[in-house]
Structure 1
């Protein structure tokens, strides 16, 4: 599915990704020089070996006696290689320090937990009343440092936002931290970069970078509980959802649904995709996902639901009201 999200380590939108790109460019240049030097040495050796076979006395077995020139060339090659590798080491250390040098005054703190195969996102705040949860979508304010606390709920995952930062592993039982800053508004794609099971490829995390005012407006909406719909059909769907087995896995703030083993559904309709990027978020795909999740994401933990057509229509209407 084409989501229109930026997903390239060569198109950077933050200082961390920029530092990594500079190191990659230096590494590419050094490797290219070494590759060309090896090809030149190979061509020289082939040329010399052919001439030695014709001109070397038979008692030497057709092998040329090493001359001072080639020995000096080898010494120069080794010296230059050592210098180039040393330069890469120095640049690597400098890059690592630059990645850790981002000022964190006024940083936004977000906790991201990897599941098979979706992302739980918790926005922290010194004021507990301002914390909130969402899933499968990360919103960030432009120009503000962000501290991502990373955890895994099951197997090893790895969060990678190519345009904003490098990779960071999420290991069960451990906590990792990824610090970044997005300097350019836009929509970027994060992904799991560590094979974590059957649907590893469908574990996307859209990263929406917007102005501080836009982010504050979005966060204010996310802090609100789910509204009780006034539409008759949506009200019927609400009764079905809250009276069925959906509440055993999902949370909908403002209702008795408080489980956390599945994605938070409080503001589901405001997200662009379903199932961590597997499907677009529209009524038709939502109905298909509810009816048979494994048909679209084989191996997923969510079970199929055999709703009657009118019940399914009502459930979709309710979930689409969760803006």
Structure 2
């Protein structure tokens, strides 16, 4: 804590040319609209605060950390902290930090020994794995109060716990909440309808294509103009069930589409390596070639699958 306080004061005064509290207010709190967050606990602020209590139930006094304020003396509300969490997840309409800066902040830097309470550490987060996700968190305590802020960047999920009292010694509240939230989020994502966008004109992309006369594909459009791709011919992977052989191509921008499976596939298919193939295809980009004088795209590439020069053929081939 001493190191963080020293660093905060030195950087604010020597680099930014102002005191730490002013810098935080002008560069973080005000841009994010965190109107109920600050350092100075006035009588008006104190009248709105929950009363801190020790584990014995005795009320805890408020006191000023003075020079050590960067180590932990701030008051806030769950609503204000939610704005900070959304900003850190890149999901708030008032960005404060550049995307690359956020990525650096949320990337674990060091793997910890098994005796340490976190699996990894970052700047300045502790990182633990839960149900396959990195949970990035920071906890803090003052007499009579405790707080925790945590993020799961992959799910765009955050959790803030502000307590008037001490944290339970025999239970990790953050882990307990995420044990319910993570499965619920995964279920919601799987059940959400997939939005498919048709291109302005489907005709240039429709037709038959081949990769080196080895594999063959048909691209057609449905009544809404959304493109679908289906492989046919002797090289079709029979391990992949029929309902997973049709891919939808959702339009992104000029001649670029994203692969979307027509049906959601299970996490693991009992078809040997086919599940790996399916997961690697989902979300990949199709880049169609420039439209020719006939108004047709002569082929496409799928860089993410290391597939190039899939070319148009004039008609559906007949196999003997």
Normalised by the length of structure 2, the TM-score is 0.26
Greater strand content: 2
Normalised by the length of structure 1, the TM-score is 0.25
Indicate the structure whose relative CO is greater, using CA pairs within 8 Å and at least 6 residues apart: 1
Greater helix content: 1
